[in-house]
Structures are given as C-alpha cells and as structure tokens.
Amino acid sequence: MNFVKELTWRGMIHDIMPGTEEQLQKEMTSAYIGIDPTADSLHIGHLVSVMMLKHLQISGHKPIALVGGATGMIGDPSGKSVERNLLDEETLRHNQECIKKQLSRFLDFESDRANAAEMVNNYDWMKEYSFLEFIRDIGKHITVNYMMAKDSVKKRLGEDAKMGMSFTEFSYQLVQGTDFLHLYREKNCRLQMGGSDQWGNIVTGTELIRRKEGGEAFALTCPLITKADGGKFGKTESGNIWLDPKLTTPYTFYQFWLNVSDADAEKYIKIFTLLGKEEIDALIKEQEEAPHLRPLQKRLAKEVTCMVHGEEEYDKAVEASQILFGNATTESLAKLDKETFLAVFEGVPTFDIDRTKIDNGVQIIELLAAETDAFPSKAEARRTIKGNGLSLNKAKVTDQEYLVTAADLINEKYILVQKGKKNYYIIEAV
C-alpha cells in the first residue's frame, strides 16, 4: 500500500515535505508522532494521529509513538493561548502506561516483525540534559529569527496577545526538534507526522538534523479536524469524548459518532475507519438515496466503536439505544450497567426518594404524586394508569394499587418511569 496515496484520498494530508513519498516508497521507514501525556487517556482528538500511525504500519513502515514526558512538563504554544499545567514524573509514567494500553488496540507492539510499533518517552533522554549542554549542542544551530518566524510564536507575540509567551514555551520547538534528532540518531527515524498546527515545530527538527548531522528527514501533517458547522471536533457540552470507558461510556462514544451530520459522516468515515474507497463510495451513494436511514453514520459508529471498545461493547451500545428509541424490554433495561443507564437517560428529570420507603414498599400512586413530583397529582397518575399510559422499567402498570419495592430497582438504585411514548422520569433511591 502506498501510504501517501492512501492518506491523500482519505483527506488526511495537509502539508508534506518534498521527497517524503519517495522515501517511503524506497524502504521501510520509521516515523513518529508526539502524544501529549497530560491525561491518562486519549480522546478522539488524538485519533487522527493514531490512524496515521495505523496506516503507516499497515503500509509496512515502523510507527513510533512518542509520549512527551519532557515537553509535557513545558507546554506547547501551538494553537494555545495559555500554558499547560506541568506534571510530575510519577503522573507522567502512569499516563504513559495507560496510553500505551489504548494504542495497543490500534498498533502491533508485540510481534517480532521489523515494523513492530515502539513507544518512547522524551523525558528519558531530556532529563539528564543540562541547560548548558542544551544551549551549546542545540541552541547555537537554530537562530532566534528562525524561531520567531513560526506561526505559533507570532500568534502569541502579536498585538492581540495578552499573556505574552514565556521563555519556557518559546524553547518548545527546540525541545521537539531535539526529539526528532535523537530518534534520527538512535532509531533511524526519518519522518515526523502531526497536526497541521505542528508544521513549524516539525520542520525545526528536520532543519536541526540537516545542520547537525548533514542528514535528510521529512515532515507530513494532517488537517485539523473540524465540524461542518465550524464547531470544535470531539467536544460536547460535557467535555471531551475519551477512549477510556470510565471517562466516556461506550454508549456515549457510540452516540457521538451516530449523531454527526451527513457532511461530517462523509468526511469522518474516511479518516477514522479502515474501510476501502469502494465501500465508502457505495455508502455515500446509499446515503444520498436514503439519507433518513443514515447508513454512513451507522457504519461509522460501528467501525469506530468496535475498534476502540470491541464488538461486545458495540452490541451493548446498540441495544442501549433501542431502550430510548425502540421496543426495549424490562430485561434489556436490567442488563445496563449503572454508567450506561445514566448515559442513556442523561438529562431526564430525576426525583429522589428515601431508600427505606422503597425497601418497605410504596404504593405506585403515592410514589409518583406524593413521595416524588413525577406527576402533579394523584388524579393524573390514576388517569394515566387507567389509560394504559404508564410503564415502570419498560413494563406496563395496570394496577393502581401496585406496590413498588426494592425488587423494582435497576442497579439497586433506579426506577424508570415512562408516561406515554416520550416522557421519561427517573426515581433514585437515596
């Protein structure tokens, strides 16, 4: 597979240094991407870089994932208006292990193949570097004029910049350039990849290699992913969409992809899946002919959820979706874990009741209209039951004297009340 051609039709190349494609066609090439280790999980904003590494490995080349333990202690000015929080070494090491575990779902780290993936941490070679050694070995090769010309620096020092820029951040591109130089020397790494906002930092590395080693290195960046409406990709009202299921449930993860716009689905399915061009073109045609069926979104959500969380979690997410929008049963509701249950019914009005009252048993009308405000009056609760319009945990309630007990609790805590087809309430035993 021609790596550059593959990325090109997928819309994953923004800038590419001349000679890059020729280098990749000539021999197996090691290439790296830097990953910010300021959290113990990747989020979907990292997925573009991860998919680049995956395509690289499929193409027969060697991917290197560089965890920026040293650069994470500094903060990267690219596209940022403020400095990052600095982390201690123990936290960085923990984050590194968590990130490697997630990357292992995408990359082969374990095999004995020549192009098995590697993970490195730039803290390992930067921690012993003294300041004097650094400015002697690295600083004298890159001029201030060269560094000032970078867009990331100019933006922070421009007229609109209120915060200015610390020397620490200004030196970031030299540290990143040192990473590339180190990997060039130690791992024969010839290519660095990243987002388009990293172009300036990456070419500083290629320039350093040229001046220090007389060597040739290459750069390739992908576009920064945006949404069709101009909003930030991967951000929701509740924050980032994480790959860690403890931070973002597989159901919420699946729903994110399922709910993207048609225009975004057409773009994302090329970037975030391994589906081939013919299959994607067929799905796009299918979408044009029957957009209400949303074949692009459904396939995108399936592919990405399976890749990140596995097929079993995907099946659970689909089943959970049916609870809100389909003919779900009490049994399927009972199978939901607490996190998925809360994710499915996020934003649904919730009422609290003392757990002891549930343990002792409470009559349904009392529960709905006296112990909670799920219904405005007992009369309305009775009318709803009489009209066959009330369900408890997806089971119809026809008896106005029904006694609600601990046996009715989902996850030993929740009761789902449904009035008519679309009105849901949660009663939580506290």
pLDDT tens per residue, range 245-280: 999 999 999 999 999 999 999 999 999 999 999 999
Q: Which of 117-121, 134-138, 191-195 has the lowest mean pLDDT?
A: 134-138
Catalytic hit among 20, 29, 40, 46: 46
Let me know if 232 is a catalytic residue: yes
pLDDT of res. 114: 96
Predicted confidence (pLDDT) per residue in 330-352, tens digit: 888 888 888 898 888 888 899 99
Told to judge if 356 belongs to the known catalytic residues of this protein, a careful annotator would answer no
Q: What is the pLDDT of residue 83?
A: 46
Q: Is 62 a catalytic residue?
A: no
Q: Is 46 a catalytic residue?
A: yes
* 383 given a catalytic annotation: no
Sort strands 423-429 and 350-353 into parallel, antiparallel or unpaired.
Answer: parallel
Regarding beta strands 414-419 and 423-429, do their DSSP bridges make them parallel or antiparallel, or are they unpaired? antiparallel
Residue 235 is among the residues annotated as catalytic for this protein: yes
Tell the burial category of 387 from Cβ atoms under 10 Å away from its Cβ (0-12, 13-18, 19+).
exposed
Q: List, for residues 71-126, the tens digit of each pLDDT value.
A: 766 655 554 444 455 677 788 889 999 999 999 999 999 999 999 999 999 999 99
Instruction: Please state whether the predicted TM-score (pTM) of the whole model is above 0.95.
Output: no
- Annotated catalytic, 94? no
Between helix 311-325 and helix 250-258 the angle, nearest 10°, is 70
Q: In 3-state terms, the chain is what percent helix, strand and coil (to 5)?
A: 50, 15, 35
Helix and strand numbers (H, E) in the chain are: 21, 15
Residue 141 among the catalytic residues? no
Catalytic residue among 80, 185, 187, 413: 80
Which comes out higher in pLDDT, residue 385 or 422?
Answer: 385
Average pLDDT, rounded, for the chain = 90
CA 154/CA 141 separation, integer angstroms: 20
| Contact indicator for 36, 247 with CB cutoff of 8 Å | no
- Catalytic member of 14, 15, 36, 84: 84
Between strands 30-35 and 62-67, the pairing is: parallel
Q: What is the pLDDT of residue 86?
A: 65
Q: Is 236 a catalytic residue?
A: yes
**What is residue 68's predicted lDDT score, i.e. its pLDDT?**
87
Q: Is the pLDDT of residue 220 over 70?
A: yes
Rounded to 10°, the helix 250-258/295-309 angle is 150
Catalytic site residue from 38, 91, 168, 330: 38
- Among 176, 206, 252, 273, the active-site one is 176
Q: Is 43 part of the annotated catalytic residue set? A: yes
Percentage with pLDDT > 90 across the chain: 67
Residue 184 contacts residue 209 (beta carbons within 8 Å): yes
Q: What is the dihedral of CA 376, 380, 381, 382, to 10 degrees?
A: 150
Q: What are phi and psi of 408, to 5 degrees?
A: -90, -5
Q: Which of 14, 227, 235, 335 is catalytic?
A: 235
Catalytic residue, candidates 91, 102, 168, 236: 236
Catalytic residue, chosen from 14, 15, 43, 185, is 43
